[in-house]
Amino acid sequence: MKRSPYLISLLFLLGCSSQPRPQGKMTLTINDDLGRTVSLNQAPSRVISFAPSLTEMVYALGGEGRLAGVTAWCNWPPQAKEKTVVGDMMSPNFERMVSLKPDLALMIGSRPGPLLKKFEALNIPVLCFKDETVADIQRAIKVLGQVLESPSRADSLTREMDLQLAAIKAAVDLVPMEQRPKVFAELGTSPLFAAGDSSFIGQMIALAGGINVTGNLPSSYAAVNPELVVKNDPAIIIVLHPQASKEQIAQRLGWQNVSAVKKGRIYPGLDQDVILRPGPRFTEGLKILHGIFYAP
């Protein structure tokens, strides 16, 4: 669907916030990840992003001019930090949001929640994206590409992702399962927090050619007994929180014989923004992990 820039600017000049949007020719209908159908009468120009991953996507698609509000956690690219902060999913600042007169809100969610209902009550169109798998990321990029009028950039982004994924997959596939390193991803210390296979980090580990020792947890994330780590004997420990240093982990009681401890393969201080964030840079995270797992 093509839109004439002239018409858009005309509408822009005519349509100040207090006036109703003209019903008309350019209607964009999107189905978001929750199955909701959202109709936009024109390309949005005042977008609010409620997730750092979505903010990164907006910038990657060249849509920063349309971005009006972000969360306090949106730190990439650095310019994003200068945008107005509208709170975050846990504590949204509705006043500030409404004062920005948004015409679209972007949020993450796998099921409808009170935040969504609030937006609907305020008559702000909302697009909900899932962020649990690689497919989710790519789909979100494609949808945003449509909305932000840069579908070709979306295509090239996703193509690039596919290429990088394929490259890593090729390298990983060469390694038989028994030889792949066992990995423990520590997300917290007290209590010991780990991720299951269904979590995003769990998938990252698998894609990067590692075997998650806490893979079969009943939920995506859970507190685990340190015994499990000792029993499953990971070769690599990646520390995804700031509260434990390599020395601290090495002197934990009962962990002395864990392969990762014995060989010193404990990796704190990783860039969590590329490893944990299901955004357009996740392939960088994959490369980092792959590099750690298969270091010579």
Partner 1 sequence: MRRDIKTWYYLLPASLLTILLGLASGPAGFGLLADPQVMAIRLPRVLLGLLAGAGLASSGAALQAALGNPLAEPYLLGVSGGAAFGAALALLLGLSAGVGGAVGLPLFSLAFGLLALYVVYSLSKVGSRLPAETVILSGIIVNAFFSALIMLLLALAGRQLQEMIYLLMGNLGMIFGTQSLYLLWVCAAIIILCTGYLWGQGRSLDLLSLGEQPAQSLGLKVEKLKLRILLASALMVAAVVSLAGVIGFVGLVVPHLARMIAGPKNSRLLPLSVVLGANLLVLADALARTIAPQEIPVGVITSLLGVPFFIYLLRRKKRSGL
Contact residues toward partner 1 (CB under 8 A) are 90-91, 188-193, 216-219, 221-228, 230-231, 241-245, 247-248, 251-258
The answer to whether the beta carbons of residues 274 and 288 sit under 8 Å apart is yes
Q: How far is the CB of 248 from partner 1 (least distance, A)?
A: 6
Nearer to partner 1, 101 or 231 (CB): 231
CB of 190 to partner 1, least distance (A): 6
CB of 183 to partner 1, least distance (A): 18
Q: Identify which of residues 161 and 211 has a Cβ nearer to partner 1 in the complex.
A: 211
Residue 169 tokens read as 């997959």
Cβ-based nearer residue to partner 1, 27 or 251:
251
- CA atoms within a 13 Å half-sphere pointing along the CA-CB vector of 12: 11
- Phi and psi at 251, nearest 5°, equal -100, 15
Q: Which residues of 101-113 are buried (b: 16+ CB within 10 A; e: fewer)?
A: ebbbbbbbbeeee
Closest CA to 201 of 88, 294, 289: 289
Print burial letters for 243-254: b (CB count within 10 Å at least 16), e (below 16).
ebebeebbebee
Residue 196 near residue 221, CB atoms below 8 Å: yes
Euclidean distance between CA atoms 109 and 292, whole angstroms:
31
**Nearest residue (CB) to partner 1, 140 versus 239:** 239
Question: In terms of CB distance, is 110 or 256 closer to partner 1?
Answer: 256
Shortest separation between residue 250's beta carbon and partner 1, angstroms: 9
Residue 164 vs 220, nearer CB to partner 1: 220
CB of 56 to partner 1, least distance (A): 19
Round to whole Å and give the CA distance between 102 and 46: 5
Q: Are 275 and 281 in contact (CB under 8 A)?
A: no
